[in-house]
Amino acid sequence: MSEFTNFESAPEQSPQTRQYARAQKTRNRNGLLVFLIIFCLIAGIVLAVGVNNLTTEKATFGQMEATPEAIPTATPYLELGGTAPDITSFDNPVVAIAQNMNSAVVGVRTSVAAFEVGLPLQEVDYAYGSGFVVSKDGYIVTNHHVIADADRYTVILSDGTEYEAELIGSDTYSDIAVLKIDATDEDLTVSPIGDSDSVLVGELAVAIGSPLGEYLSNTVTVGYISAVNRDLDGSTFLQTDAAINPGNSGGPLMNSKGEVIGINALKAYLAGFDEYGIPIATEGIGFAIPINAAMEVVEQIISTGWVERPGIEISYYPMTSDDAYIWDVPFGALVDEVTPGGPADIAGIRVNDIITAVNSEDLEDPEALPDMIKDAGVGAKVTLSVWRETEKKRMDIDVTVGDLNALD
């Protein structure tokens, strides 16, 4: 088995994870992801005074750093992304990439207020990660877990210039955060944005970031794309063997053109144990969030400070046809948990209900239920066809889709 690590604090998992019909529990029950621990990784070393212990906690599904009341007004259209460097040496394009794009990569240092009896309030360093510039007016993209739980954010450019940054918004589900610094466009190099959908296995992969902290800032590591569309805990990643270490999190993964194709976020660190119980470390197994998906979130955060996530607040077990045959029940999505006070609970959905259709469309693949809810959109009323075992009958229940990030 492999385990994945996050090298700093992440938000605490709530007892009732707010899922819009996610099928995570099913995969656990079917043994497909048994013992797989996913943490939003690689932000950096926790730099608290006298502390070098690294913690790992899974981010709460759908939780935002901002609150609905704090959503800023929409901003005008903003052009994101810069121009790719002019690369003439195709035998080794990494030199040109490093020379041209190092200045687009930044360090992200966070700090927290510390209380100590008998002393005034102090600010201490909390964590260190990476990020990259996406606009001339100072928008910076990084991972959510780089900035999670911090009180203050500092962006360090490649020349050592430091800026206090404003947190525009942060989304735990996608592990994306956006900061903004007050800098002139002459001071900034904007990262060119590539197309992660066109990435192929075997392509060159260049990671730039600050492994092990600020003193190794703008380190360049090189490898290849090991896999695309790698599914981990319901999210899709690019897999690379380019060296990624604590502090790289939030930094860019680039292609041979110097374009950002991913955001470094995860690293496998444990392959298992040998016959004596000694841990076996992994090598060259890192993961990056595909840039196409990431930029959709970035644009929403910049525009509204918020990422809308349609959901009805249930978790469920995707049944197989064999399950339905053995239990002599209709085929569909078996409701495993209903969040009290959520849209499904208000509408009357109960644990052990089997959802068989959405808006009269048969649920031929229970794994598709989240997408069907998402496609309906926040505020839409969807009709769920439900089989209720206790009453031995089918019924239609109207549920109003909510925004998971706005729900208590």
What letter does residue 103 receive in the DSSP assignment? G
3-state secondary structure (DSSP) of residue 295: helix
Half-sphere exposure of 132 (CA within 13 A, CB side): 35
CB atoms under 10 Å from CB of 111, counted, come to 18
What is the pairing mode between strands 361-362 and 310-311?
unpaired
Task: Provide DSSP, 313-329.
Answer: -EEEEE--HHHHHHHT-
The backbone torsions φ and ψ at residue 76, rounded to the nearest 5 degrees and listed phi first, read -60, 165
CB 108 within 8 A of CB 210: no
Cα dihedral 183→208→301→345 (10° resolution): -150
Catalytic residue check, 145:
yes
Catalytic residue check, 103:
no
- Distances, alpha carbon 261 to alpha carbons 73, 132, 198, in Å: 29, 12, 9
Catalytic residue check, 175:
yes
User: Out of 125, 170, 171, 175, which one is annotated catalytic?
Assistant: 175
3-state secondary structure (DSSP) of residue 20: strand
Instruction: State the Cα–Cα distance between residues 375 and 369, nearest whole angstrom.
Output: 10
CB 167 within 8 A of CB 174: no
Alpha-helical runs (H) found in 156-305: 291-304
CB 298 within 8 A of CB 80: yes
User: Out of 130, 249, 315, 385, which one is annotated catalytic?
Assistant: 249
What is the pairing mode between strands 314-318 and 20-22?
parallel
Instruction: End-to-end CA distance of the chain: give it in Å, rounded.
Output: 35
What letter does residue 58 receive in the DSSP assignment? P
User: Out of 9, 125, 145, 210, which one is annotated catalytic?
Assistant: 145
- Report, as residue numbers or ranges, the catalytic residues: 145, 175, 249
